Amino acid sequence: MIAAVPATMALAQTAENETVKARRAFYTMLGFEMGGLAAMAQGKVDYDAEAAQAHAADMVTLTGLHTADFYAPGTSKDDLPGETRALPVIWEDMGAFQEKGQAFGAALAELNTAAGEGLDALRPAVGKLGGACKACHDDFRAADF
């Protein structure tokens, strides 16, 4: 039975590592879609209504995931140093964290409407969404691992 204890711990550790991997993959995909929009907003890539709409729609799809389980307990930077930048304050103040998520959702809805309406509509909507990303990162994401 002694051997069963470390085996169980190893399993729990794996589940938490998998959660962090999934969480970071989620944000990587969000960042990828945002990158395509930012390139257009900044004039690095020609504006393309269809591509802009696809990026926005994919972000809407991503945020339709049940993201709560990406924030399982035991997956903060304090729990898993070197693996995640998610600050423990997320779990201490989940309400404030969710407020940032809601502001992000509202900005994304605006962007989703504006994306196909030309560069002049896209640009401010991308700026606003980027601000919502940053607002959450400022409070809840560490600068390094």
Q: Which residues make up the interface to ligand HEC (CB under 6 A)?
A: 20, 23-24, 27-28, 30-31, 34, 84-86, 97, 100-101, 104, 129, 132-133, 136-137, 140-141
User: CB-based contacts of 119: which residues, under 8 Å, 6+ apart?
Assistant: 40, 41, 47
In this complex, which beta carbon is closest to ligand HEC, that of residue 6 or of residue 95?
95
In this complex, which beta carbon is closest to ligand HEC, that of residue 96 or of residue 121?
96
In this complex, which beta carbon is closest to ligand HEC, that of residue 43 or of residue 127?
127
Give me the least distance between CB of 86 and ligand HEC, in Å please: 4
Give me the least distance between CB of 9 and ligand HEC, in Å please: 21
* Alpha-carbon gap, residue 52 to 104, rounded angstroms: 18
Neighbouring-strand partners of residue 141: 86
Give me the least distance between CB of 108 and ligand HEC, in Å please: 7
SS3 2: coil
In this complex, which beta carbon is closest to ligand HEC, that of residue 4 or of residue 68?
68
* Alpha-carbon gap, residue 85 to 20, rounded angstroms: 10
Give me the least distance between CB of 117 and ligand HEC, in Å please: 19
DSSP element (H, E) containing 100: helix 94-114
Structure token digits, residue 117:
């309406």
* Alpha-carbon gap, residue 40 to 122, rounded angstroms: 8
Annotated binding site for heme c: 133, 136-137
